[in-house]
Amino acid sequence: MNIFDFFRERKKETTASIAKERLQIIVAHERGQRSKPDYLPALQQELVEVIRKYVNIDSDQVQVALENQGSCSILELNITLPDR
């Protein structure tokens, strides 16, 4: 390595640091997914069926999300009703 390489190296991001950054992002994302209980998709499906008895909606018009804030969990339901 000569003196010019030395200065060039500093600016360039190494492939290892790119790997670390990518891993940090994907691992954090997957850990977030993991903490969700696995009954959520079934819950969503059953809710859609119940609502469909009364209102005609598509399955993607019900969103179910579970958030943890400290000691309490918030189950958030977002149902978009069709225009009349």
Partner 1 sequence: MAKILVVTSGKGGVGKTTTSAAIGTGLALRGHKTVIVDFDVGLRNLDLIMGCERRVVYDFVNVVNGEATLTQALIKDKRLENLYVLAASQTRDKDALTKEGVEKIINELRETFEYVVCDSPAGIEKGAHLAMYFADEAIVVTNPEVSSVRDSDRMLGLLASKSRRAELGEEPIKEHLLLTRYNPERVQKGEMLGVEDVEEILAIRLLGVIPESQAVLKASNQGVPVILDDQSDAGQAYSDAVDRLLGKEVAHRFLDVKKQGFMQRLFGGRE
- According to DSSP, residue 82 is labeled P
Find the binder of partner 1 among 2, 5, 7, 16 (CB under 8 A). 16
Structure tokens at 23: 């891993």
Paired residues of 79 in beta bridges: 62
Task: Tell me whether residue 56 or residue 68 sits nearer to partner 1 (CB atom).
Answer: 68
- Rg of the chain over Cα atoms, rounded to whole angstroms, equals 23
**Does 68 interact with partner 1 (rule: CB under 8 A)?**
no
Site string for partner 1, 20-59 (x = CB under 8 A): x-xxx-xx--xx--x-------------------------
CB of 36 to partner 1, least distance (A): 12
CA distances from 49 to 20, 29, 45 (A): 44, 30, 6
